[in-house]
Chains A and B, each alone.
Chain A
Amino acid sequence: MAYLFDTPEQRQRMLAAIGAASVDELFQQIPVSLQLGRELALPGAVSELELEQDLQRRLGQAGGGGVCFLGGGVYDHYIPAVVDELTSRGEFYTAYTPYQAEASQGTLQAFYEYQTLISQLSGMEVSNASLYEGGTAVSEAVFMAMRVNGRDGRVVVAGSLHPEYRQVLRTYFSRLGTEIVEVPAVDGVVSVESCRAALTAETTAVVLQQPNFFGCLEDIGGLTAAAHAAGALAILAFDPISPGLLKRPGDYGVDIAVAEGQPLGTPLQFGGPLLGVFTCRSEYVRKMPGRLIGRTVDRRGRECFVLNLQAREQHIRRDKATSNICTNQGLLALRATVFLSVVGPRGLRQMAELSHAKARYAAERLTSLPGVVLKFERAFFREFVLETPRPATEVLRLLSDRGFNVGPELSRFGGSLGAGLERCFLVALTEKRTRAEIDALVSALGDVLGS
């Protein structure tokens, strides 16, 4: 069943118009020696009902039914019903890239609104219409910094930046001869002196994260100043809910700010598809990767929206393009647009404040257990690192058996976060977690450690 239309009689008519005796004849372009000559060895076709029954059986239970305290880049934030409702409209999700502007004003205006909302959220002057996710957004930011200041030999990266973002960076730059210098985090943050010491006249940029991977708050102002003093750009990976409570990247004066936009209305989906947020100073706009939607007027002077500065993109500039990106994360950007429209500044402030308050409460109660400590005695937002007397992988497994999904354990990332972290793991809180759930987690951890 392939959602086809034509009856055998219609097929015959079409073949007659073409002047072919059979459909097989149309495939004569393929040399016989290359033809498969058998049916593909795939499971037989199933009806909608059978497929649903099969997948219900395999995917019908969510995450063991546990409560989510997992962090590390994507979070279990609330998604108002309006987001699913509006973005499920076929006119949005079955449209494609708005190459014909007159047939795509819905998409184009929504993305213009997205760009504006992200600009307001981040305090940065201009946003693009999305990249794949947070990790590649960081890599694209470094490429862009190189185009801006003409330095391509060296980039300095905070050791407190998400380890997977750093892995992506290494893969992207593996063949390009760029030196990636990591400044280790000490006691949960990167110091301005150590950053300054790592900067040279060949450094294109410094890459930072706020809050960092540990949930800790860094001295972004000081680190940005150090970068600028060395003629390097400051690139900040920020959290898109945090502006409800904390300073925005633009307020720190960074040059490029990127984010994993998943908390803005996209479900976890085992890590994809996600939303790469990319913003920068408006003077860099012609060096930005990704699609950009601009406002203009049409022949009759009516305001309208259009894909802008396409000459930078791969379909025109080819090997000299600002990026190879073509398909982006359009639908997820649309979800973020609806989400921010409906949540608004007050709702976002509530989300940030609630996540913060719950994280603080959880941290205090968890560290009241014997032998459980906050690994870094520093201010944090939404997540924090706990250390217990037992190996983290064991603790997290036992907690999940009891219905609490906590983590990730820091040892999951090899030595990339530092040494001696085998008993450490992240705990993340959002506005969704109730006091009862937190108290139950404390009790469960107490059981696990006591036994």
Chain B
Amino acid sequence: MRNPTATRLLFEMSESGRGTVVFPESDVPDVSGVPVPGVEHLAAGLLPLPELAEPDVVRHFVNLSTLNMSVDSHFYPLGSCTMKYNPKRHERLARLPQAVASHPYQQESQIQGLLSVLYELQGMLAEISGLPGVSLHPAAGAQGELTALLTAAAYFRHRGEQRTRVLFPASAHGTNPASAALAGFECVQLSGGRDGFVDLSELRAQLDERAAVFMVTNPNTLGLFEKDIATIAAMLHEVGGLVYIDGANMNAILGRTRPGDFGGDMMHYNVHKTFTGPHGAGGPGAGPIAVRDFLAPFLPAPVVTFDAARNWYSLMVPEHSIGRMRTFFGNVGILLRGYCYIRTLGGRGLREASDCAVLNANYLLSQVRDFLDVPHGNRCMHEFVASAKRLKEQTGVTAMDIAKRLLDYGFHAPTVYFPLVVEEALMMEPTETESLATLDAFAAALRQICSEPAELVKGAPHSTAVCRPDEVNAARKPVLCWSAEC
């Protein structure tokens, strides 16, 4: 039941004099022996924050939460995001005292348990990737990409090599070129073949001694395994370059193949995708990287090591470390949830997860392909990209319209308009934690939508609290902050 008074803005609910948290009176006397801040440092008055009563705050946020779709409440087939079930046991375990209350500058003797968990996780990620040098430091996948590129750059500099170019396919996630530009590289985008794969002759034409890294997602963002990946890696290695695997799609290949085995030299994981770190309405994530052992000395600091003789875990700085990418160790809270997931599944369980993710995606593909084009064939890995291009030509209904209409049927939309290489793209990733019944219901809804009158679909969503926000006006005159004058 909707409660519109509770979802007014906090600032509209504020009443002067309300307050809810009361701290105890100070139990220490004033002292005069230490310097006092001068008046030039002091605040002018009370902050203009809203004054709210706790019961109102609770009602407000509880009601706001009901305006969201989430994995806990709806099927959420967002391609490239792996919206799988977030196990609740992780929430309890991540709140264990040493995990939640350890300060980063705590004495090492007090955090041995936590360091042992992080050390184990390093090893697990090395085994799953086939790449031995692991850093848990990056805060998210994009930062993992940047970290790996800087690591590669340091390696090349150490060898006295001047390499200026990073190459990637046009289907790459936008963070790839963005990270490469931040790392000071020239970005070279490859169009790729019509079949959706990397075009080997196009790649060969662009490779020379300036090539530093080729960044590729495998399976790629069309949900297809790059069958020539070993050849691609050989081509890069031949000119002295390295291969970076964007690990966003690891959910397709856990226990089946490993980036280190198919030619990758570096990769990042998205713990908030593959390993069930909760998506948190946009974050936090964790983006650990794994690299070949010749790159390990350049990894960022700190890394966990274990001294078997003393039975002691500690933090160390790799010999030629690129330094820090962020403060403190890493997103430990999220890493811990990933650890719990990997322990819960074990090696066999991870493979079962991938098996089922791939089975579910192929099944969904088989159910939609007679009414929605799937340009790149009848088989996929853990996700596939359909196109509403023909529907748009026939009826004017676009991928965006389909996405909005799905909300009326109680499903979150798939990813739309990505990858850029498919027109009117709908990228669907069901994940393994969904039942056959859910997949059938989703396919049926899509089938229905594709035959509904265009005005009905273009007018969607009809059942949500709001419908088609005016993004043009928002971008012309941004209003990013409430103010008393509004």
Contact flag (A, B; Cβ within 8 A): yes
Are the CB atoms of A328 and B346 closer together than 8 Å? no
Are the CB atoms of B359 and A74 closer together than 8 Å? no
Residue numbers in B under 8 Å from A379 (CB-CB):
35-38, 41
Query: What is the distance, in angstroms, from A409's C-beta to the closest C-beta of chain B?
Result: 9
Tell me, yes or no, whether A451 is within 8 Å of chain B by CB: no
Stretch at the interface among B17-25, B289-297, B386-394: B17-25
Are the CB atoms of B37 and A321 closer together than 8 Å? no
Tell me, yes or no, whether A43 is within 8 Å of chain B by CB: yes
Tell me, yes or no, whether A197 is within 8 Å of chain B by CB: no
Please name the residue on chain A nearest to B39 by beta carbon.
Answer: A247
Tell me, yes or no, whether A263 is within 8 Å of chain B by CB: no
Tell me, yes or no, whether B466 is within 8 Å of chain A by CB: yes
5 interchain residue pairs of minimum CB distance: A271-B328, A90-B72, A330-B282, A331-B280, A62-B97
Docked complex Cα distance between A113 and B7 (Å): 11
Docked complex Cα distance between A308 and B474 (Å): 7
Known: A42-B350, A102-B404, A353-B26. A55 touches B117 (CB 8 A): yes
Stretch at the interface among A199-207, A226-234, A356-364, A441-449: A356-364
Residue numbers in B under 8 Å from A331 (CB-CB):
278, 280-284
Tell me, yes or no, whether A224 is within 8 Å of chain B by CB: no
Q: Could you say which of A90, A326, A364 contacts B34, with CB atoms under 8 Å apart?
A: A364
Are the CB atoms of A297 and B20 closer together than 8 Å? no
**Can you name 13 A-B residue pairings with CB atoms under 8 Å?**
A36-B261, A42-B124, A58-B117, A96-B281, A103-B69, A245-B43, A272-B139, A308-B478, A309-B475, A324-B145, A341-B57, A347-B22, A412-B105
Query: What is the distance, in angstroms, from B97's C-beta to the closest C-beta of chain A?
Result: 3
Q: Could you tell me which residues of chain B, from 1 to 60, have a CB within 8 Å of some CB in chain A? A: 7, 9-11, 18-23, 26-31, 33-38, 40-44, 46-52, 54, 57-58, 60
Stretch at the interface among B79-87, B202-210, B234-242, B446-454: B79-87
Q: Could you say which of B230, B359, B379, B470 contacts A298, with CB atoms under 8 Å apart?
A: B470
Taken residue by residue from 64 to 105, chain B's Cβ proximity to chain A (1 for < 8 Å, 0 otherwise) reads as 111111111100101001011111010111001111111111
Q: Could you tell me which residues of chain A, from 119 to 159, have a CB within 8 Å of some CB in chain B? A: 119-121, 125-127, 129-130, 132-136
Tell me, yes or no, whether B179 is within 8 Å of chain A by CB: yes
Tell me, yes or no, whether B481 is within 8 Å of chain A by CB: yes
Known: A91-B68, A304-B465, A318-B187. 7 other contacts (CB 8 A): A4-B356, A40-B127, A72-B105, A109-B67, A126-B481, A347-B19, A347-B21
Greatest chain B CB density within 10 A among A3, A61, A93 is at: A3
Tell me, yes or no, whether A14 is within 8 Å of chain B by CB: yes
Tell me, yes or no, whether B444 is within 8 Å of chain A by CB: no
Residue numbers in A under 8 Å from B142 (CB-CB):
314, 324-327
Are the CB atoms of A36 and B256 closer together than 8 Å? yes
Are the CB atoms of A40 and B433 closer together than 8 Å? no
Q: Could you say which of B105, B331, B343, B351 contacts A46, with CB atoms under 8 Å apart?
A: B343
Query: What is the distance, in angstroms, from A2's C-beta to the closest C-beta of chain B?
Result: 4
Residue numbers in A under 8 Å from B64 (CB-CB):
105-106, 109-110
Are the CB atoms of A5 and B73 closer together than 8 Å? no
Are the CB atoms of B480 and A115 closer together than 8 Å? yes
Tell me, yes or no, whether B128 is within 8 Å of chain A by CB: yes
Residue numbers in A under 8 Å from B399 (CB-CB):
none
Tell me, yes or no, whether B175 is within 8 Å of chain A by CB: yes
Known: A135-B327, A270-B329. A357 touches B105 (CB 8 A): no
Q: Could you say which of B109, B366, B412 contacts A19, with CB atoms under 8 Å apart?
A: B366
Tell me, yes or no, whether B325 is within 8 Å of chain A by CB: yes
Taken residue by residue from 332 to 373, chain B's Cβ proximity to chain A (1 for < 8 Å, 0 otherwise) reads as 111000001011111111111101101110110111000000
Q: Could you say which of B110, B255, B331, B413 contacts A273, with CB atoms under 8 Å apart?
A: B331
Query: What is the distance, in angstroms, from A82's C-beta to the closest C-beta of chain B?
Result: 6
Docked complex Cα distance between A298 and B143 (Å): 35
Are the CB atoms of B113 and A61 closer together than 8 Å? yes
Are the CB atoms of B47 and A59 closer together than 8 Å? no
Docked complex Cα distance between A365 and B481 (Å): 44
Are the CB atoms of B61 and A74 closer together than 8 Å? no
Residue numbers in A under 8 Å from B381 (CB-CB):
29
Residue numbers in B under 8 Å from A291 (CB-CB):
282
Docked complex Cα distance between A253 and B272 (Å): 38
Tell me, yes or no, whether B181 is within 8 Å of chain A by CB: yes
Query: What is the distance, in angstroms, from B195's C-beta to the closest C-beta of chain A?
Result: 13
Are the CB atoms of A39 and B479 closer together than 8 Å? no
Tell me, yes or no, whether A180 is within 8 Å of chain B by CB: no
Greatest chain A CB density within 10 A among B26, B229, B327, B365 is at: B327
Taken residue by residue from 259 to 301, chain A's Cβ proximity to chain B (1 for < 8 Å, 0 otherwise) reads as 0100000011111111000000010010000011111111110
Q: Could you say which of A105, A246, A270 contacts B466, with CB atoms under 8 Å apart?
A: A105
Tell me, yes or no, whether A191 is within 8 Å of chain B by CB: no
Tell me, yes or no, whether A315 is within 8 Å of chain B by CB: yes
Are the CB atoms of B436 and A10 closer together than 8 Å? yes
Are the CB atoms of A119 and B481 closer together than 8 Å? yes
Are the CB atoms of A357 and B30 closer together than 8 Å? yes
Tell me, yes or no, whether B311 is within 8 Å of chain A by CB: no
Residue numbers in A under 8 Å from B365 (CB-CB):
18
Are the CB atoms of B146 and A324 closer together than 8 Å? yes
Are the CB atoms of A316 and B100 closer together than 8 Å? no
Are the CB atoms of B49 and A88 closer together than 8 Å? no
Please name the residue on chain B nearest to A46 by beta carbon.
Answer: B343
Taken residue by residue from 374 to 404, chain A's Cβ proximity to chain B (1 for < 8 Å, 0 otherwise) reads as 1001111100100000000000110010000
In this complex, how many residues of chain A approach chain B with their Cβ under 8 Å: the count is: 208
Please name the residue on chain B nearest to A378 by beta carbon.
Answer: B35
Residue numbers in A under 8 Å from B175 (CB-CB):
314-315, 324, 326
Query: What is the distance, in angstroms, from A218's C-beta to the closest C-beta of chain B?
Result: 9
Number of contact residues on B: which range applies? 35 or more
Known: A36-B258, A95-B70, A168-B326. A13 touches B436 (CB 8 A): yes
Query: What is the distance, in angstroms, from B82's C-beta to the closest C-beta of chain A?
Result: 10
Tell me, yes or no, whether A23 is within 8 Å of chain B by CB: yes
Please name the residue on chain B nearest to A341 by beta carbon.
Answer: B57
Docked complex Cα distance between A136 and B182 (Å): 13
Are the CB atoms of A343 and B21 closer together than 8 Å? yes
Are the CB atoms of B284 and A245 closer together than 8 Å? no
Tell me, yes or no, whether B106 is within 8 Å of chain A by CB: yes
Residue numbers in B under 8 Å from A121 (CB-CB):
47, 49
Please name the residue on chain A nearest to B439 by beta carbon.
Answer: A14
Residue numbers in A under 8 Å from B86 (CB-CB):
90, 93-94
Taken residue by residue from 5 to 17, chain A's Cβ proximity to chain B (1 for < 8 Å, 0 otherwise) reads as 1100011011101
Are the CB atoms of A133 and B93 closer together than 8 Å? no
Are the CB atoms of A103 and B412 closer together than 8 Å? yes
Residue numbers in A under 8 Å from B28 (CB-CB):
357-358, 360-361, 435, 438
Query: What is the distance, in angstroms, from B248's C-beta to the closest C-beta of chain A?
Result: 10
Query: What is the distance, in angstroms, from A109's C-beta to the closest C-beta of chain B?
Result: 6
Docked complex Cα distance between A115 and B366 (Å): 44
Tell me, yes or no, whether B141 is within 8 Å of chain A by CB: yes
Are the CB atoms of A304 and B103 closer together than 8 Å? no
Are the CB atoms of A106 and B110 closer together than 8 Å? no
Residue numbers in B under 8 Å from A41 (CB-CB):
127, 347
Are the CB atoms of B467 and A299 closer together than 8 Å? yes
Are the CB atoms of A91 and B73 closer together than 8 Å? yes
Residue numbers in A under 8 Å from B19 (CB-CB):
344, 346-347
Tell me, yes or no, whether B132 is within 8 Å of chain A by CB: no
Known: A106-B67, A171-B323, A296-B469. A270 touches B23 (CB 8 A): no
Q: Could you say which of A56, A59, A68, A309 contacts B114, with CB atoms under 8 Å apart?
A: A59
Tell me, yes or no, whether B153 is within 8 Å of chain A by CB: yes
Docked complex Cα distance between A29 and B223 (Å): 11
Are the CB atoms of B93 and A35 closer together than 8 Å? no
Q: Could you say which of B78, B184, B331 contacts A96, with CB atoms under 8 Å apart?
A: B78
Please name the residue on chain B nearest to A57 by beta carbon.
Answer: B113
Tell me, yes or no, whether B62 is within 8 Å of chain A by CB: yes
Are the CB atoms of B344 and A1 closer together than 8 Å? yes
Query: What is the distance, in angstroms, from B478's C-beta to the closest C-beta of chain A?
Result: 5
Residue numbers in B under 8 Å from A316 (CB-CB):
174
Are the CB atoms of B51 and A90 closer together than 8 Å? no
Are the CB atoms of A106 and B407 closer together than 8 Å? no
Are the CB atoms of A98 and B184 closer together than 8 Å? no
Q: Could you say which of B89, B280, B467 contacts A48, with CB atoms under 8 Å apart?
A: B89
Q: Could you say which of B85, B96, B475 contacts A3, with CB atoms under 8 Å apart?
A: B85
